[in-house]
Structure 1
């Protein structure tokens, strides 16, 4: 099986990038003057560099995961667009040709699936649906939170608990300015 994008990126970017695979503690210590090599600060500096390097490697790993998800979503979008364009390009003449003469080299026949070829397509479809469902659930929770916040604000307004104590004065001033504008226009 051919290596995937994620495998290539991980092997190229992540495997050789941990600090101990680049330089060991002993090699790092030997870079310092003899008088400083036994200092605990050298070991602490190496550990700090190792933690920084690990954080960077973790960030790269997360970026690889995000890139793989984005690539999958892009492939799904391309396939969906291709299917939609095929559906839109449906030609009556070709359909009549197929009916009269059967499938020929000038008419495109749909791809026939075997059990082995349909399983990855079904898995991809399941992943698409789950992804869409997750997006819808996130959108639904954001909308619900927005509605709850709006209802809470309306409740505060109903019972006279305003977060802005000057709001009533501002509203009255706004209404007066509207009245003045209407009087000037008439």
Structure 2
């Protein structure tokens, strides 16, 4: 994937993405019934939606960067396969696969290596292997953290303890506070 393709993806997926670009707080509060527009929870909901949206945008940015990185690796793999096919006998070659590979790599057949040209390809292969190793290690770390989180959550469930909420309060206290706010809104719908 070229830089131009990465720019197109970024422009298409990220440019109109932030919540404030297409909905202001005023527009958001206008969605609610008049009696509830001044409720501070509306602003909290808007901020939380904005935070979640920004988190999603960052994930898309990382995915675009990973796709660019992956496309470079795919080009190297196609080049390696092309070299293998170049060395194979003509009877076993698939002409359509060769044509597709040449189109994707943007290169014609390479000449045989010399002492000067082989160094670059070896360095490129080493970088590709290092990138693959790093990617596998990152995946393993993410999987380990995920498993540890699940085990911790199951342990907390078994013992009756819960992780602190986002506000830092005990979850029971937070639930009671939210219920009291709800009760107040229901008891006084005009305010």
Please give the TM-score of this superposition, normalised by the length of structure 2.
0.48
- Ranked by relative contact order (alpha carbons within 8 Å, sequence separation 6 or more), the top structure is 2
Please give the TM-score of this superposition, normalised by the length of structure 1.
0.49
Bigger Rg, structure 1 or 2: 1
